[in-house]
Structure 1
Amino acid sequence: MNTELQEIRSFLANKHPFDLLSEKTLSDLPEKLQIRYFHKGSEIPDTGTLFDHLYLIRTGEVELKTADGELQARLGEDDMFGYRSSHVGSRDKLKAFAMADTLVYQLRAADLYRICDQNAQLNCFFDTSDEVQKGRQREATSLFVQSDQTQLNLMLTQVKELLSRTPVKVPVTATIQETAQVMSQKRVSSILIYHEPERREQKLMGIVTDRDLRNRVIAKGLAPNDRVSEIMTENPATINSSDFAFKAQLQMARYKVHHMPVMNNNRLAGMITTTDLTRQHTCSTVYIIGDIYKHTDIDRIKQVTTKIPELLVNLVATGATAMSVGHLITSITDAVTIRLLQLAEKRLGPAPVAYAWVAAGSQAREEQIAKSDQDNILILADDYIPEEHSKYFSLLARHVCDGLNACGYIYCPGDMMATNYDWRQPLKVWKKNFNQWIDQPEPEALMLTSVFFDLRCIYGNRSLFQDLRDHVMGKTRGNRIFLGHMTKNALSRKPPLGFFRNFVLIKGGEHDHTFDIKLNGIVPIVDLARIYALAQCSSAINTLDRLDLMESSKAISIDSAKELRNALEFINHLRNQHQARQVKAGKEMDNFVSPDNLSHIDRNRLKEAFLVIRNMQSVMKSRYHW
């Protein structure tokens, strides 16, 4: 188990009711979780309904409201909401909103159902705890760190392990001069200010940094004998000593501070600085995401995203599942996109009309790899007036798409980006476009729909996206002619397996004696799952979610669904291994795999996976094609 998943396991092991799980179930659970980041003010979830998943808040704050906006619950770190955790009010009308930048662990309803079905204690907990929990539960205080580990990862390091000294502090009655003298003697850049009532514990009142001494004393015209309370920052944000260092890093990024007091429950424990964190961190998803949100220029964000190939190598080396790799890397892409949009709005001013920035393709499905192109669109509100508003959204799209390209997410070769005027349209135009694509499924239209049926709102007004999605689902419901055309288009991409179960390889050119593992191995499964999801009018986007739907709706047998899931995981795993080898060799990443680089066992397993795809394509052809 890689370090990030191990950290999540340690967290769950100390959180009720997951502490009731068996060791095996507990160890398997982290791979089923998705790490999701929601910006302040955004709705949770961005697709589907609130009760499609169970959400566990790791950092941040969430409010549950009715459709009328009435507050039902205010949740914080360690609280749960969503599937089987709450029915405050009417379940189908509840909405959740991030009231601060929020990091959540997301568990699919189907996965929680299976776990509860196998664990009577957990099933009892969720059956009897239908009201959303209001109390905050403590952070995990235990962790696993190998003794020979040379660098502690922020995901596995508790804040208390970064404290190298007892608290440096002065009472609130101290003078500015006395405070400066203590800081000089102790050689620290910040100091805690406390109040100590009679026979009670010391209470944190504020902090003072060397910057405060330089700026505030002179600016206020204060004398050395004035009270330090005149220049201190009152009621600073704090972190608990048992919290993990990655949480401290996210908190500092959120509040834009470089020093944060550390508390042991209500007692002063010390001070942590950004220098402490920088000294300790290694490459981790949460650190990368936190780093992205603190930068204000593209060049700095670009520097952060250069760590993604290294992250892929680490994840592959530690045995992360392909599903986990896809979710983790996509979460970074989402963070980059959101940050670029924030910076664009800061530069251009507020948008003149509401809009939704929507990702398409692998980012929408949360299945990205370390090297991906960008597919995105803009949905504009119908009060958009081209003559008045076009320039703003053209500049916004250019800022974001250029920024993504600079950060390694190359321009879409087919120009399916918001910089293309055709893909930057009001809601009513998007509806008209989908009507035409569905009613007149020409080859180009089928190519577009194979991308644009995989959409996920990343930023902005999510109701615009949901309105379009509902419209599209209504158009495809029961439309067997359109599904037939989609099936015919999907069947054009077949696994590279010959009649005698030999690999069909590219001959000649740059990729001689290889096959495209993405185009001929992964895409066929993605296409299969998409068509079945459309047939069921499902809003599921992730391919594994769609395969679960195929099983639960009995569109295919349990065994067939399991075989497809295993095939998808194995093929993705081989691609990740292939690209990790290329990164370590200093080569450009691609999808062209040579059978010569696979072991005998892997070659046979891959052939079996391709056979599964071919058989399921035959089933789909008989069902939807004519």
Structure 2
Amino acid sequence: MQVSEIQALMATQRVWGLLLEATRQRLAPQWQARDFQRGDIVLAQSEMPERLGWLLSGQVALTDPEAGWSLPLQPGELFGAGAQAVDATEAVHATAQANSQVLFLDRAALLHAALAHPALFMLLPALPRNAQSPALTAPAPSGNVMTAPISQLVQRPPVQIDRADSIASAARRMADERVSSILLTQDDQLFGVVTDRDLRSRVLAAGLDPARPVADIATLAPLTLQKNQSIFEAMVLMARQNIHHLPVLDGNRVLGMVTATDLNQHQSTSAVFLTGEIYRQPDLAGLVACSTRVKDLQSSLARADTSAYSTGIIMTSVTDAFTVRLIQLAEAELGPPPVPYAWVAAGSQARMEQTARTDQDNCLVLADDYRPEQHGAYFEQFARRVCDGLNACGYVHCPGDIMAMTERWRQPRAQWDAYFTQWTKRPDAMALMLTSVFFDARAVHGDAGLLHSLRRDMLARTKGNGLFLTHMVGNALKQRPALGLFGQITVSRGGEHPGTVDMKHSAIVPIVDLARIYALAGGLDAVNTHDRLDVAAEGGEVSPQAARDLADALEFISALRIAHQTRQIAAGEAPDNFLRLDELSSFERGTLKDAFGVVHQLQSVLGQRYYGGAGVRARRCWNTFERKGRRGFAKIAEVF
């Protein structure tokens, strides 16, 4: 939609028509037009206080599933920021009831317009009358805000009540203090927390007597953070645990409460609200609607200057939420599992290093009392529902079939132990690739102990296993950084993406491989690549300086990949890993070349360590692998 069209529409609308022509002219370019299909989420609950929607055509409904009401809107009506007084922690959201077209205006632009035209404060009653220009009130940037201590977000002393007080008194205190939660204490120690959602679902909906002690409805021993922990840690904890209120402590003393709304100024907090919405979806269709916002999340993280390391953890937390909710829906449909299991993520999800462009790698570790004839049909249906659901949500099926829906990767713990024993004793091409995939494993749901004991036994076999590690090193050295003979960055000359650098296989994978080998050699349990480098340096598998160099190289390369994908998303293109050098500045190209040089040098050091003293037998084994294993390696190279 053209700006001139929006300006003409504003002149005919009952609110915008009252503005001065010059104000409409300034405001028109800031509107964003979007089309929605029936069933799409138009404004998520996290966006309701942050964006104003203007329905041009179709029908949109405001819905609160917890309170059980839905209000249909007609073309011309406004909803969201300023139009309704909605807290971001409430369940209210807007959904398309028919194919609809909507214009959106960010809250900051709306406040600027209201300050220039004060009548908007009356016409949009949910706008704060004491608002100041965001340009005047926003703090000056000081690096990555995600690393700042969480204490910076504590706005007021804690609102507390004794655990023995009544529910009614807690509700009155929350209303008087205008807060959405209250802390329960006993002898100055934190006992629990009660939120407005607890009052709705555990008191009103359940018909509970408000004279009962407030401790009866509290979340006891709530998750907390210490005041010096980072905003990033708070965000990840809220996203992964699906909570919206987090007490902040100074030692044992309660310093205050931080809510998801307090984090609203940091765009990355949309992950907190997105995961909350994911867990509320009643079916796959709702999850698919939520999945359309994953790319926007990565873009918002990039705009907030979030580190690549933090972005990976945030994006993977969202993937975990989709996975867990699909598991919950599958169990609700099929009934409880007949034997314990662990749903295990592999690859980049296990390492918590995902971006908006990813497929799925997963498996099931079942308890050893699993019997195929009795339990096989259940877990086959269960795994297929989850894997197909992930595919529908954009986490496409693994091209190498490394998924729990494949029977080979849906086995009891004893069979998994046999797999790893075979792979470490006879490390042919396929075994080395599978070791690489499944050594990067993390339990997402179920009995995590099944995986932990399996990994412990596997690490005992790989630690100091020179012959196996020599094969792993040879496998890893097949993925070299994109450097030519004279130390210049090389680009692909053919294929589907000529003239580009594959930022995954030719840049990130070599670093991931190095860190994995350090972990295997040292018997180290860390999974995330940065964490592996840290513990490998502490354990002497690599020098501290080399570990820091690799970590810095990984951060820089990953940030370039995320920036490349963010540009593609903004252009309406599907994100990929293929970067053209003309997207980079001269400085970025020089730094990328230096990063590749660091990786190449440490690959050479690792090769010399294992090949230099491995002896004739190891060399012969590797030569055999080169001759016989190349075809199998190429076939499954896409998996990782």
- Asked whether the two chains share a fold, i.e. TM above 0.5, the reply is yes
- 1:19 aligns with none
Q: CA deviation at 1:236?
A: 6.0
Query: Which residue of 283, 299, 310 corresponds with 1:313?
Result: 299
Q: Distance in 2 between matches of 1:210 and 1:509?
A: 58
Q: CA deviation at 1:215?
A: 9.9
Q: CA deviation at 1:356?
A: 0.7
Aligned AA (1:287): F
- 1:510 aligns with 496
The one of the two structures with greater contact order (alpha-carbon pairs below 8 A, sep at least 6) is 1
Pair 1:561 & 2:554 matched: no
Q: CA deviation at 1:466?
A: 1.4
Give the conservation status (yes or no) of the 8 Å contact 2:521–2:541. Answer: no
Give the conservation status (yes or no) of the 8 Å contact 1:490–1:527. Answer: yes
Distance 1:432 1:598, change over 3 A: same
- The CA deviation string for residues 251-299 of structure 1, in whole angstroms up to 9 with x for no partner, is 9x9799xxxxxxxxxxxxxxxxx9x99x999761111122212222122
Q: CA deviation at 1:507?
A: 1.5
What SS does the aligned partner of 2:492 have? coil
Distance 1:421 1:215, change over 3 A: closer
Query: Which residue of 342, 350, 354 corresponds with 1:368?
Result: 354
Pair 1:519 & 2:530 matched: no
Distance 1:315 1:215, change over 3 A: closer
Query: Which residue of 362, 378, 388 corresponds with 1:402?
Result: 388
Distance 1:157 1:147, change over 3 A: farther
Q: Distance in 2 between matches of 1:254 and 1:311?
A: 17
Query: Which residue of 448, 451, 460 corresponds with 2:434?
Result: 448
Aligned AA (1:380): L
What SS does the aligned partner of 1:561 have? helix
Q: Distance in 2 between matches of 1:424 and 1:514?
A: 38
- What pairs up with 1:134-533 in 2 under 5 angstroms? 147=136, 284-533=270-519
Identity across the alignment (%) = 45
Give the conservation status (yes or no) of the 8 Å contact 2:508–2:554. Answer: yes
Question: Taking structure 2 as the reference length, what is the TM-score of the superposition?
Answer: 0.58
Query: Which residue of 606, 613, 617 corresponds with 2:599?
Result: 613
What SS does the aligned partner of 1:284 have? helix
Give the conservation status (yes or no) of the 8 Å contact 2:359–2:395. Answer: yes
What SS does the aligned partner of 2:527 have? coil
Aligned AA (2:609): R
Gapped runs of 5+ residues in structure 2?
A: 1-133, 140-144, 157-166, 170-179, 181-193, 245-259, 612-618, 620-640
Q: CA deviation at 1:506?
A: 1.0
Pair 1:534 & 2:520 matched: yes
- The CA deviation string for residues 355-396 of structure 1, in whole angstroms up to 9 with x for no partner, is 111110011111111121100000011111101100111111
Q: Distance in 1 between matches of 2:136 and 2:468?
A: 59
What SS does the aligned partner of 2:546 have? helix
Query: Which residue of 545, 563, 569 corresponds with 1:583?
Result: 569
Aligned residue-pair number = 420
Aligned AA (1:402): D
Q: CA deviation at 1:478?
A: 2.0
What SS does the aligned partner of 1:384 have? coil
Q: Distance in 2 between matches of 1:553 and 1:254?
A: 35
- 1:88 aligns with none
Q: CA deviation at 1:305?
A: 2.5
Q: CA RMSD, aligned part only?
A: 4.4
Give the conservation status (yes or no) of the 8 Å contact 1:207–1:236. Answer: no
- The CA deviation string for residues 465-489 of structure 1, in whole angstroms up to 9 with x for no partner, is 1121122112212211110111111
Distance 1:482 1:581, change over 3 A: same
Pair 1:594 & 2:580 matched: yes
- The CA deviation string for residues 422-474 of structure 1, in whole angstroms up to 9 with x for no partner, is 00001111111111111111111111111011111111111211121122112
Q: CA deviation at 1:555?
A: 2.6
- 1:182 aligns with none
Q: CA deviation at 1:512?
A: 1.4
Q: CA deviation at 1:552?
A: 1.4
Distance 1:343 1:501, change over 3 A: same
Q: Distance in 2 between matches of 1:403 and 1:513?
A: 35
Aligned AA (1:393): F
Q: Distance in 1 between matches of 2:519 and 2:197?
A: 55
Give the conservation status (yes or no) of the 8 Å contact 2:198–2:218. Answer: no
- The CA deviation string for residues 79-134 of structure 1, in whole angstroms up to 9 with x for no partner, is xxxxxxxxxxxxxxxxxxxxxxxxxxxxxxxxxxxxxxxxxxxxxxxxxxxxxxxx
Bigger drift between 590-599 and 308-317 goes to 308-317
Q: Distance in 1 between matches of 2:531 and 2:374?
A: 41
Aligned AA (1:601): F
What SS does the aligned partner of 1:372 have? coil
- 1:101 aligns with none
Q: Distance in 1 between matches of 2:554 and 2:199?
A: 53
What SS does the aligned partner of 1:527 have? helix
Q: Distance in 1 between matches of 2:413 and 2:198?
A: 51
Aligned AA (2:537): E
- The CA deviation string for residues 189-235 of structure 1, in whole angstroms up to 9 with x for no partner, is x9xxxxxxxxxxxxx9x9999999x9999xxxxxxxxxx979xx997
- What pairs up with 1:32-43 in 2 under 5 angstroms? none
Q: Distance in 2 between matches of 1:333 and 1:305?
A: 9
What SS does the aligned partner of 2:540 have? coil
Bigger drift between 511-520 and 313-322 goes to 313-322
Question: Taking structure 1 as the reference length, what is the TM-score of the superposition?
Answer: 0.59
Gapped runs of 5+ residues in structure 1?
A: 1-144, 161-170, 174-189, 191-203, 218-227, 257-273
